[in-house]
Amino acid sequence: MTARPDTPRSRRERPAKPALSREGIVAAAVAVLRAEGLEKVTMRRLAQELDTGPASLYVYVRNTAELHAAVLDELLGTVGPATGEGSWRERLEQVLMAYARMLFAHPSLARSALTARPSGPHYLHLIETLLALLAEGGVPPAQAAWGVDVLLQLPTATAAEHVDEAPEEDWDALRRAVSEASAHDRPHLAAHAGHLLSGGSPEDRLSWALRVLITGIERTAVPA
């Protein structure tokens, strides 16, 4: 039987694999994250995806933690800039909510982001944007520098909570316990039960909490 013209007759005739690069590895990791979740973003899984051995990847990425940090930095590139409208506080909140929405879309990445230390260009750009908005509001440099840390922690932790969110029956049990609290034994809990159980979407609560933080950062000096 005659071989088809497009069938390689030897290993030498097979199409060459694309050269490995850090950018290619991170791009493959992002694709696996979106398709299968962060738990599948491992060196072994990426080696299969890139048709190579895991040892080859360590030339470009030291370990899985660094890989996850690089994936986080890559997705930070999808966080749009603040609009030109509104006060500096409103634009600061816009950027942080955009960051939160990116993490809500990938809650497993949010849990990793609690301990990850990204250092890529998109992360640095995000820090620069936050510092610039705080400076526009006249926030002293030390307060702005410390404030950026807590401003990013809040949406990160909020999104990370959704990785192992409690089942609805657990929430129902909590609601019953709060609403049935005795005014005699727990007067403050009973008096605030309605407010404790009220509220809009998680985004509404996060937006309020960010405004609280921004006001506190603006007014609270760091220790000498």
- What is the domain partition of the chain in residue ranges? 17-61, 81-224
- pTM, two decimal places: 0.80
Superfamily of domain 81-224: Tetracycline Repressor, domain 2 (1.10.357.10)
Which stretches of the chain score pLDDT less than 50?
A: 11-12
The enclosing H or E element of 136 equals helix 121-136
Q: 17-61 and 81-224: same fold?
A: no
| Cα-based distances in Å from 216 to 8, 128, 147, 209 | 67, 20, 9, 11
Q: What's the pLDDT score for residue 147?
A: 97
Tell which CATH classification among 3.40.50.720, 1.10.10.60, 3.20.20.70, 1.10.3720.10 matches the domain 17-61.
1.10.10.60
Chain center to CA of 222: 26
Asked if 16 contacts 10 with a C-beta cutoff of 8 angstroms, the reply is: no
pLDDT at 176: 87
Q: Report the largest interatomic distance among the alpha carbons of the chain, rounded to a whole angstrom.
A: 92
Phi, psi values for residue 151, rounded to 5°: -65, -35
